[in-house]
Amino acid sequence: MVLTRAACICLVGLLLAMTWPAWAKVSGPCVNCHTMHNSQAGSPMAYTVSSGVTTYTSTPNKGLLNTDCVGCHQGSNSGGPVPYVLDVSQPTYGATGTEGDTLAGGNFYWVSQGNDRAGHNVAGLAGSDVAHGNLPPGSTDSAPLSQLTCAGTYGCHGASTEIDATVALLGSHHANDMTAWNDGSTVAKSYRFLDGVQGLEDSDYEYRPTSSAHNKYYGADRTGETESSGTISSHCGRCHNDFHNGVGEISEGVFSNNVWLRHPTDFDMSNAAGSEYAAYNDYQGVGTPYSVISPVATADTTTTLNQAVYQQADDAIVMCLSCHRAHGSPYDGILRWNYKNWPCENEGTDCFNGCAICHTTKD
């Protein structure tokens, strides 16, 4: 029996539908992402994308992929199924990054334009940091590392044991289930493919999130200088070691019971009972709804979304992403809001003090 190309595509699509759950992160015809021979009518199929310009290459990509991470995730967001992390024109961010076209991680646009303080300097997206080179701030390494990559040993996503970014992510896009709790047992079962990190993924990657539609970040209320495993903050601590771990690096004296030397992470605010933190996000005196502007993590590992804090034990845990975006933002320090310009006459547009969502008496 001879099958036409169209029939083959339909058959492959049917087999994929039978093999993978309907909620797999990547679905549809294989040719959307892969090329078997990197040749169609004598022309190459593999390509790269730089500054919005597509360049086809005769050199095949690993994994039979049409393109790489940058080529797949470069574009403008509109709430669609593909998360775009690099826009070729300035995306709409808004005052806090929750009103515009950026996603939970923000956008690499600003660091790609040469503002090193506005994002992570990922290879292929930006040059090495002028001030820090390839040595992350707070790193305990004595020599510069290779430049940060999207995935792998020198990246954030995928298996940390694999140097190559593509190899580090092989198979993961097909096996991800966005409706289940990611327990970190495999790369595919790790939150956003961050190896070992737990969490629940918002289906549209926090495109204009609300208190009832957002990521659910996993946190652990630690009691010592060593970061708990499986949390988003512990993942950040892989590179920014001194900001998260080490005796005398986090607090002066007894942990959580003395003067802080660095802002706490994986610390539940309910430990400071009776403090200003008890009024987290309580601007109108209507309780403590979850804030998508200054989010907190929870120790709860169910698929029930946390829409408020102080509802159960360890559900108001401060984490790195309470203040920062993982990819990039328009602001120094990859902060979620324009704190550096605060106070200002037009707060909420020209500046915003997201610190006050937790530090409620200091605005």
Bridge partners of 213?
210
What is each CA distance from 327 to 121, 125, 342, in whole angstroms?
Answer: 9, 11, 23
Contact 258, 341 (CB under 8 A): no
What is the spatial distance between Cα 188 and Cα 161, in angstroms, rounded to a whole number? 15
pLDDT in tens, the chain (363 residues): 443 433 333 333 433 333 333 344 688 899 999 999 999 999 999 999 888 899 999 999 999 999 999 999 999 999 989 999 999 999 999 999 999 999 999 999 999 999 999 999 999 999 999 999 999 999 988 877 799 999 999 999 999 999 999 999 999 999 999 999 999 999 999 999 999 999 999 999 999 999 999 999 999 998 888 888 999 999 999 999 999 888 888 888 777 677 889 999 999 999 887 889 999 998 666 679 999 999 999 999 999 999 999 999 999 999 999 999 999 999 999 999 998 888 888 888 888 999 999 999 987
Q: Measured between alpha carbons, how far is 208 from 70 in angstroms, rounded to an integer?
A: 23
Give residue 345's Cα distance to chain centre: 32
The owner of tokens 């039979």 is: 64
Where helices occur in the chain by DSSP H, the ranges are: 5-19, 69-72, 109-112, 165-169, 172-175, 232-236
**Site of tokens 């080529």:** 71
Q: Is the distance from CB of 254 to CB of 151 less than 8 angstroms? A: no
Q: What is the pTM of this model?
A: 0.90
Return the structure tokens found at 162.
């694999």
